[in-house]
A = this chain, B = another copy of it.
Amino acid sequence: MENNITSSFKFELIHQSSKSKARVGRIHTPHGVIDTPSFVAVGTNATLKALDSHTADELGLQLMFCNTYHLMVQPGTELIKQAGGLHKFLNRKNPIITDSGGFQVFSLAQGDVKDELKSRSNKKHEGSVLKINEDGVLFRSYRDGNKILLTPETSIQAQKDLGADIIIPFDELPPYTISPRKLKASLDRTHRWEKRSLDEHKKNVNNQALYAVVHGGVDKQLRKESCEYLSTLDFDGFSIGGSLGKNHQELFELIDYVVPMLPYDKPNHLLGIGDLNSIEQCVTGGIDTMDCSHPTRAARHGALFTHEGELKLLNSRYKYDFSPIDPTCECTTCKNYSRAYIHHLFKAKEITALTLATHHNLHHMIQRMQRLRELILMDKI
């Protein structure tokens, strides 16, 4: 089960559960191995929020997600190229995945319309989409007002500058409420853009793997069409993007439907999902990697992960609770500090609270994925 399209990238299937579509694998990249299924933490601006790269490496975070759109705007992908690429810039030893910028630029466009209706706000340098056509998207940087053109080619070039191990083709993000005709038109354009992205990528593979993005929203026929078309192209892996449904039920149905249509010998990635309540079902649905900002954001809001669910640390019941967040946890936060202390740090609005909580939640996610891999290897899930 190997895939040698690029020199260092390889997906190795270790075990297929007999009980579900869950599988254990290893993705080999130029910056080391990702044991799958794996949780992918989000470090939008080339850092996790409240945790430095060195610590993330030490925690054993095997894959980190950075956002090309944000990095184009600040500090600029040219600068990161000069630094020797993202890994050198942020001093990360383990693999990185970047997205195309498409998601953010279209969220911005959709958010913009909403803002316009609500308040007609017109802040100086407010990010805004100036033009969308077959070529791509022209938008204005929210930081300095400069115009930035995002096309399949410029997105791939930006991701070449960044130099992540896994990159994503430029796609269109249609709104959740869209007519079937428009969704089909959007899908067709996304497919054309993904093909152009692949062609651009092939000019200079640069030891990077390119994952397709399957689209089609919650329309099964379009999802099938997307899987079929993209499978004919020479992608290294497949991610699932676009609208994933309005609730967990729709999400799980979608995964159950889509995953079997993806090439079995290539890794897949679920874009933007990874909250505590979804993980196991995504994994049993056959997902290899999934990124989500929820665990780190929840931490900063005082929601600490335990095996019994989220512990809402700001609740006054923890004021006098001198036990660790999770007595079974081996992380630095749990080995050194009590619920009462971190509760106090949150109440006193101390930055240290955010770091300690983030450290714990990330450790929890890494351990939880490790446990899921063990259960798959034993055919228990």
Contact = CB atoms under 8 A, between A and B. Distances in A.
Interface of A: 45-54, 70, 74-75, 79, 82-83, 89-91, 319-320, 322, 332, 336-338, 340-341, 343-345, 347-348, 350-352, 354-356
Q: Copies per complex? A: 2
A83 B352 contact: no
A74 B341 CA distance: 11
Contact of A354 (B48, B319, B351): B351
Given A70-B348, A350-B47, A356 B52 contact: yes
A297 to B, nearest CB: 12
A243 to B, nearest CB: 28
Contacts of A45: 344-345, 348, 350
A340 B75 contact: yes
A47 B346 CA distance: 11
Nearest to A347: B74
A141 to B, nearest CB: 13
Contact of A50 (B48, B341, B347, B355): B355
Contacts of A355: 50, 52, 351, 355
10 contacts: A47-B348, A49-B351, A54-B336, A74-B344, A75-B340, A79-B340, A82-B322, A89-B344, A351-B354, A351-B355
Given A354-B351, A355-B355, A345 B47 contact: yes
